[in-house]
Amino acid sequence: MTDSNRRQWANASSVPGHTTERSPLTRNADSRAGYGIYSPRHHDDTDDSGSSDDSSDTSSLLPRREDEESSIEAPASPTKPTGPGEDEQLSPKAILWIVLPMLLAVFIANADNSIVMATHALIASEFMALESSSWLFTGFMLASTATQTTLGQLSMVFGRKPVIIVCYAVFALGCLLVGSARSMTAAVAGRLLSGSVSAGTNVLVSLVITDLLPVREVASWNSYVNVVAVSGRCVGGPIGGWLADVIGWRLSFTGQAPIFLVAIILCWIALPNFKPKQKRPGQEADADKPWTSKLRQVDFLGSALLAGFLILILLPLEIGGSKIAWTDPRIGALFASGIVCLALFVVAEKRWVSNPLMPLSLFASRHTVVSYVILALQTLAQLGMMYSVPLYFQVTQKMSNTAAGAHLLPAVIGNAVAGILSGYFIRTTGRYKWLIYLATLMSASAYSLLLLRWHGQTNWIESLYIFPGGFGTGMAMSATFTSVQASVDRAHLSPAVSALFLSSGLGAVVGLAAVSATFQAGLRSTLESRLLLLDLDAGVRDEIIAKAVASVGYIFQTKGDVAKAITESYVDGLWYSHIVSLASSLLAFCLTPLLREYKL
């Protein structure tokens, strides 16, 4: 595109007197080129004169006001991975050929999550550890949040393809460990291993798409990936439940290994060997350096400190109140150690490392931080709901694992539909803020209906109440992704996207821990009250409570008033858990006015 054409494009696209802020991704032609993959050109980010209401920081992350810019250049198209200097736009077919091999892994990984949601109670009950069932996904999410930013940086240094392939291989190994587990500890260890590389099935896929496409198109392509992910979640729950009923739950995990092997072969054949061509400020980037030199570019110190902070903060949320009392000194020690790790992480990123894992300037923008918090709250709310739904129908209607898992379908279908519609809306209008308002309100309406109507006798129409909850979260995911992508400079997009997925993972971990703790506390207290009314001895009451908390199957081993008391107490405990989801969505709605909508 010539300079004259650029000026014509800028004049035609400007609106006199309009003060909407323009995304920093549209500052110049180079910013549309694929970050660190296809574009051999360096993004010159020397003009940081713009100011922001969010912070006094003049970081390149903060966009300039449109009225402060003298001109806006036309976005350049992504370039092909055929060599430096080529500036031809990739066709949708070419992009699909790049993305398609990863979709198989996306499908299986999301089916895996749904399988765990549908069978976690059965797996934990086999090991007489129902009170620890949330560890099957809390452990996964904990490992995921601790490693995904590191994997994102590794893919910047070594290229996307090798990191993605290694992720798939390790994920498959984790599935084999779960399927062959002989204890709850071994099963959780397998989930930790798979979770540690789960970024290969979400973060890295989104980064590849972001590398290839302009900001308006990314939401649409991510919505297509989300359809595949939702399809996996739709299939995973019923199939996992069916396998658990007919053959056993183990095959639903060991059977994933050969499918991941196919995904590895397809990626090896079809995926280009993405190489980082661009550098972040202050980074010496050279795709042809030996691997030892590249390894020194990875911020292992920051990765270790961030992982330590996350584990030390989230671990007490999981074990507090169930494994050990909240007043136990060890809980305080874990929290304090986590704060120390966070402080050291901040110092390390600011002073000690040359290529920080997560530039602190990311958090100088209120807009970016609020986007992270909103997605975390929405994820917290939905994961809490997804935890409780299968358990609710198993207890109240004595459903099989297959039928109970099928009740998750309305929520996951809502995710897919919302992703497609919001992606289309963003692509055609360039607007995203009002989608977040709508998303949070729809989610809140779903959790309100669960509180009002799910009291043990739920018909098929009332079981659809979870649809708007899934719809709202799917819409929020597309809108917040666009919000972050529009608010940061291209040179910082990879860590910004990784941080967005980190916030979602944190929301999931905190949500599952909070919902599980709320449910367990509600179950124990209400069951204790009901058993007191039956005039049972203290020893008998304690035994009944311990067995009811340890295994959902214990309900079906009891009869009469005891069985009724346990069932009603389960319903009460799950009712309390919906309050957590409702509060999270309402808080996300209240934060939305703090967002600024940039012009795409």
Instruction: Report the alpha-carbon distance of residue 288 to residue 236 in Å, rounded.
Output: 42
Look at residue 34 and tell me if it is in a domain: no
The beta strands (E) that lie in 197-241 are given as: none
Neighbours of 460 (CB within 10 A): 7
CA distance 70 to 87: 26
Cα-Cα-Cα-Cα torsion 475, 481, 484, 490, nearest 10 degrees, comes to -150
- Nearest alpha carbon to residue 214 among 89, 310, 300, 326: 89
Is residue 258, in this structure, part of any structural domain at all?
A: yes
State how far the Cα of 390 lies from the Cα of 188, in Å rounded to an integer: 20
Q: Is residue 328 part of a domain?
A: no
Structural domain containing residue 422 = 92-299+353-520
Q: Would you list the DSSP string of 137-178?
A: HHHHHHHHHHHHHHHHHHHHHH-HHHHHHHHHHHHHHHHHHH
pLDDT of residue 546: 86
d(CA 469, CA 386): 10
b/e per residue 504-535 (b: at least 16 CB within 10 A): bbbbbbbbbbbbbbbbbebbbebbeebbeeee
Asked if residue 255 is part of any domain, the answer here is yes
Structure token digits, residue 251: 């095959």
| Residue 288: predicted pLDDT | 57
Q: How many domains does the chain have?
A: 1
Does the pTM surpass 0.85? The reply is no
Residue pair 64/31 in contact by the 8 Å Cβ criterion = no
* Nearest CA among 512, 386, 402 for reference residue 133: 512
Partners of 320 in beta bridges: 324
What CATH number is given to the structural domain containing 362? 1.20.1250.20
Q: Look at residue 385 and tell me if it is in a domain.
A: yes
- Inter-helix orientation angle 493-533/366-397, to 10°: 40
Tell me, what's the pLDDT at 64? 40
Alpha helices in 282-328 (DSSP H): 291-295, 300-319
Q: Does residue 47 belong to any structural domain of this protein?
A: no
Residue 341 lies in a domain: no
pLDDT tens, the chain, 600 aa long? 444 444 444 444 443 434 344 444 444 333 333 333 333 333 333 333 333 444 434 343 444 433 333 333 333 333 333 333 334 456 777 788 888 888 999 999 988 887 887 788 888 888 887 777 878 877 887 788 788 888 888 888 888 888 899 999 999 999 999 999 888 989 999 999 999 998 888 888 888 888 777 777 787 788 788 788 878 877 877 788 788 778 888 888 988 999 999 999 988 887 776 554 444 444 444 555 666 777 777 888 888 898 889 888 878 877 776 677 778 888 889 999 999 999 999 999 888 887 888 888 888 888 889 999 999 999 999 888 888 888 888 888 888 777 777 788 888 888 888 888 988 888 888 888 999 999 999 999 999 999 998 988 888 888 888 999 999 998 998 899 888 888 887 777 778 888 888 888 788 878 877 888 888 889 988 999 888 888 888 888 888 888 888 778 788 888 888 888 989 999 999 999 999 999 999 999 999 999 888 877
What sign for the dihedral angle of Cα 33, 34, 39, 45? positive
Whole-number Å distance between alpha carbons of 6 and 9: 5
Is 161 within 8 Å of 272 (Cβ atoms)? yes
